[in-house]
Amino acid sequence: MTRIVIAATLGVSLAGVGCAHLVQSRTYTTDYKTVDLQRREYLEKELVRGLPEGTFRRWYTPTPEWKDPLRPAIQERREEDGATIYEVGTGAGSAGEIAFRDGVLDHWTRWRLMQESVSSTWMRETVEPRAVDAATLARLASYDPTGDPLRPAARPDTSKLCDYGSGDRVETQAPLLFDRENGNRIEVYYATQRAAADGGRYGTLPAGTRLVIERWEPVHGRRLRADDGTRYLVDLPLGMDALGGALCPEGTCVAPGAEAATTRDLTIAISGTDGDPSLAVIDGVTRIPVWMARGGTLPAGARATVRRWNACGTMQAEIELESPDPGMPRVLSVPVAPPGLFVAATTERSRR
């Protein structure tokens, strides 16, 4: 649970200029993208309620054996209102302040950047750590999370993987509504159920439709061409970016509901908690929460049904295994699933 406790805002008025520099010091001294990644992959996945202060210090005090330059380290320690506060971070900035009372973790705080137009707003939030049982806390006493580093170079970048240009071939991952009365204009802001209404004005491109991105023209703008020669207009404020969650490079994705095969090994993490999905992760690309138990490896070539997948947007997926090993969950959430992680099962068979 997160509670916003302080808000500090800087407004910059403009008088005949096109842009303004923000002068709030935190804005200049923080690499927010890196700090946000550190919070999501380290603090949110390691800081649990009741964690002993000694265990925390062992996890966040640098040693010569550290192999993870992204891992936040203790920068400062102070006493405040009966609590011991540790600031952790790296050269990218402060990732958070961790509060201990009576020798165990109580809560932690973070600064979140909210940017609107020429206003920079830093909001201080209090984060209530996840509660775990006594058995998990006992296991963590000897656990070493520093052996699970992130490899930034391995993390896929959809802005590059899905940076489409003229002549590129793509296929739809979700049905797309189009308006026949406006040059087959694609309508991403309306439900596809609308296709059945309005006397046939709207049609639907089904998931799996293959399209070619045509060159932008002053007259027609950006259009997509289907294999039968039909053209569809992309007349959206964000252009092709508005279709990020609906398109994928041809041959690198499968539509939800399709039978697929994995193209690389995935590590399984079992949650053991109702409502908390078990995970399938690419080592080094995302980390496993410390409260989850490792459940072996899902090998490349394993068969599964893709229940949902947003390959070029959030990169998140959910799969249902065809024949899971004993003790392995049937349904798995994949927090980072870039294009190419799953291919059509028939394609995988043809490679063998």
Any idea what the Cα angle at residue 301 is, between residues 155 and 248, rounded to 5°? 50
- Could you give the CA distance from residue 44 to residue 287 in angstroms, rounded to a whole number? 11
Query: Are 292 and 312 spatial neighbours (Cβ–Cβ below 8 Å)?
Result: no
Q: Among 229-233, 305-309, 343-347, name the one with the lowest average pLDDT.
A: 343-347
290, HSE (Cβ side, Cα atoms, 13 Å): 33
- Could you give the CA distance from residue 51 to residue 140 in angstroms, rounded to a whole number? 8
pLDDT digits (tens, 9 = 90+) for 249-276: 999 999 889 999 999 999 999 987 777 8
* Helix, strand, or coil (residue 280): strand
- Could you give the CA distance from residue 180 to residue 254 in angstroms, rounded to a whole number? 27
The pTM assigned to this predicted structure is 0.81
Q: Among 62-66, 119-123, 137-141, 287-291, name the one with the lowest average pLDDT.
A: 119-123
pLDDT band at 15 (very low <50, low <70, confident <90, very high): very low
Query: Are 112 and 127 spatial neighbours (Cβ–Cβ below 8 Å)?
Result: no
- What is the b/e burial string over 58-97, where b = at least 16 CB atoms within 10 angstroms of the residue's CB? bbbeeeeeeebebbbebeeeeeeeeebbbbbbbebbbbbb
Closest by CA to 343, choosing from 255, 245, 265, is 255
- Could you give the CA distance from residue 240 to residue 223 in angstroms, rounded to a whole number? 10
Distances (CA, A) of 285 to 52, 143, 157, 322, 334: 28, 20, 11, 25, 11
- For the chain, the first-to-last Cα distance in angstroms comes to 48
- Could you give the CA distance from residue 63 to residue 60 in angstroms, rounded to a whole number? 9
pLDDT digits (tens, 9 = 90+) for 29-59: 788 889 999 999 999 999 999 999 999 999 9
